[in-house]
Each structure stands twice: as structure tokens, then as C-alpha cells.
Amino acid sequence: METLDTVPDEEFLRLDHQICFSLHAATRAFNGVYREALKELGLTYPQYLVMLVLWEHGELPVKGIGERLRLDSGTLSPLLKRLEAAGHVERRRSPEDERSVTVRLTAEGTALRGKALGVPRRIAAATGLELGEIVALRARLDALTARLGGLDPDDLASCAAGT
């Protein structure tokens, strides 16, 4: 069995050995499936993610949405502006703190949830995986994300050095 120590460095430079490329290709494929599934809702995938958070948690500060989606305010603000222009959400400045903005669903945004109910099943079916496989894959990806998110550059260098 090959290990990190036994595979020659040259082998690691092959495109088909890059986990990041496999994840990138899978993400692009998912984006295409989501684009089709979300067309009738008039949402992009990032907008859909915002709506999922709001459908699940209700009114939230922009910062809370960003934390759940791992997005900074520079990325999130244009998404929220487009959702507001479409009539799905309302943004309000907090009376206690002018710097804090909360976001809540409009009646139209709440109603959109009913139209979105079939999307997760369509996506799951498109994967060709059984539900247990999807759950296991998601758990592995969540663990990978947590590990990578917890690494600082010094940890990464020591991993590469094999220490």
C-alpha cells in the first residue's frame, strides 16, 4: 500500500492525483445540476444557500448568515441585494447598532420554500448514490473541511515535510 512517504514527488504533480482537482470537478458538475434544478425558482446556487439558511433559521444578522455559509460580507452583500431586488428578503439596520444588518424573508421568499422542496431529492437522485453513501460522503467532506480549516501555514509545511 502506498503512503505519503512512499509515493515519489513526481507522481504527486500529476493532475489526476490532485484531490483539489477532483473536488473542483465535482463542484463544477454539481453547479450544472443545481443551475438546472434552480432555474424554475429563479435562484442561483449561492442565492439558494442563503435561502436555505433563512428558511431554517428565520431572521438573522448578515454576520450570522456569513458564518453559516462561510462567506465574507463582501461576497454576501451582493447576493442579499439581488435577493432583496427579487422580493425574497428584506434587509434592516438594527436600531441598537447601525453597523448590524438583519435579513428576513418576505412573504414571497417564504412561499418560495414550497417550490424548493423537490430540489434536494433531484440533486440526490442526480448523484446516483444511495442515501447512506451521500450521508457518508458528506461526513467525510465535513471532516476534511474541518481539518483543512484548522490548519495554519506552519502545520501545512510540517505535513509536507513529513513531520
Q: Dump pLDDT digits (tens) for 109-142.
A: 999 999 999 999 999 999 999 999 999 999 999 9
The pLDDT, as a whole number, for residue 126 is 96
Partner residues linked to 89 by β-bridges: 105
Whole-model pTM above 0.95?
Answer: no
- Candidates 13, 18, 68; CA nearest to 46 is 68
The answer to whether residue 1 scores a pLDDT higher than 80 is: no
SS3 state of residue 44: coil
What the chain holds in terms of domains, given with CATH numbers, is 18-128 (1.10.10.10)
Whether the CA torsion 91, 93, 94, 100 is positive or negative: it is: positive
In sequence order, the 6+-apart residues with CB closer than 8 A to the CB of 47 are: 79, 82, 83
For the stretch 53-110, pLDDT in tens is 999 999 999 999 999 999 998 999 999 999 999 999 999 987 777 788 999 999 999 9
SS3 state of residue 108: helix
